[in-house]
Structure 1
Amino acid sequence: MKIGVMSDTHGNLDAMNEAVRIMIGDHNVEAIIHLGDYFNDAEAIDAAGVQIYAVPGLFENAWDDPTIPRRKKIALGGATFLISHTSHKTSEDRPDDFDPMSPKDLSDVDAVLYGHTHKMESSRNDINGTLYICPGHVKSDLDRNMPASFCIIDASPGEIMVRFYGLDGEMLDNAHFTI
């Protein structure tokens, strides 16, 4: 299953829509995940037939809304993902928030998808064995000295392939993991 993942749009709907166009038009994703800052931007995604998932980021009012989960577990393409704006607990976490580093909370999770850093990266945590994937940001062409990026995950039972793309549709990096 192909899954488009983006983070940190910060209201830049033009850039977000370009990422969505590439995800759907060029790669036929079946789901899109928005990892916050600003997760309400995901409401503007026009993608008939594509599942949309979103969590709030630290720099938006929804983060403080107790009716909106800060982190969610979702199963797609034979893999289970914890979607979160951060890769770790924060001082603002509620008691019922999943901990993206806790072996107990990650026992059924194959990969943590997170944003916040604006830096595209993917790696396996040596301590808990979980994959951590950050798609980068879609805030502007360049932010924090990093180009805009998003990723497409191809998930199937036993493996995850991650491909990072710029807003020009060019692949920036890729990685393959067994799960």
Structure 2
Amino acid sequence: MRVLVLSDTHGRTDRIQQAVRQAGRFDLLVHAGDHADDVLESFPHAVAVCGNCDDPSLAAVEQEVDLLGLKALVAHGHTLNVKTSPLPLLYRAAEAQADIAIYGHTHTPTLVEEEGRIFLNPGSLSYPRGFTVCTYCVIELTRRDAQGQESEVEAQVQFYTLDGNPVPGFDLKKSWRGR
């Protein structure tokens, strides 16, 4: 399964189309808020959440998504005060028993593993902060079912610039057993 993750597009649908072209084939598009309607109009099966710049009737503030048996929590992050501290997001992900937490709001690309969970913010396709270029993320998920053994899901996460170049240091590989 290949997941394209975007956030904070703020009406820059031209950049969404560019990221889609650069990313190539994907099975799911996830938008972590702030102009989520930018993707919902063109990609009706996308998973999108409301950000602080979205119409609250557009989508939920949070969504849980099954990714090959892994649970992903998607939230913009403004209701979790992610600009102030990562702790509310960490606690919310633990409460939801999420394997992956996807968020936006800060416009800053972030990729960390904490307490066995991946936390990622794809950055912004409109106004990057703390980074000089616009970024997005691709998650490649693979399930391995070994006969007589627990299955394993592997995630390979890679961030890219808008022109499709991998962002050095923004890559991670993690496996979960028994999923």
In structure 2, what is the equivalent of residue 60 of structure 1? Answer: 54
Q: Does 1:82 align with 2:73?
A: yes
Q: Per the alignment, do residues 3 and 16 of structure 1 end up closer, same or farther by CA in structure 2, a change over 3 Å counting?
A: same
TM-score (ref. length: structure 1): 0.78
Give the match for residue 147 of structure 2: none
Quote the residue 2:91 is aligned against: 101
TM-score normalized by the length of structure 2: 0.78
Q: For 1:122 and 1:144, how far apart are their aligned partners in 2?
A: 13
* 1:133 positional shift: 0.8
Identity of aligned residues (%): 25
Structure 2 match to 1:41: 38
Quickly say closer, same or farther: Cα 1:55–1:136, change in 2 above 3 A.
same
Which amino acid in structure 2 is aligned with residue 89 of structure 1? L
Give the structure with the larger strand fraction.
2
1:118 partnered with 2:111: no
Query: Deviation string for 1:110-142 (max 9, x for gaps)?
Result: 1000111111121112xx4321011111015x5
Q: What is the aligned partner in structure 2 of residue 94 from structure 1?
A: none
Q: How many residue pairs are counted as aligned between the two chains? A: 159
Q: Supply the AA of the counterpart residue of 1:136.
A: G
Distance of 2:60 and 2:33 partners within structure 1:
12
Residue equivalent to 1:151: 137
The Cα RMSD (Å) is 2.5
Deviations 1:11-42 (A, max 9, x none): 0111111112222xx3x111100111111111
Q: 2:173 maps to what in 1?
A: 176
What 5-or-longer segments of structure 2 have no aligned partner? 82-87, 143-151
Residues 86 and 46 of structure 1, relative CA distance in 2, 3 Å threshold: closer
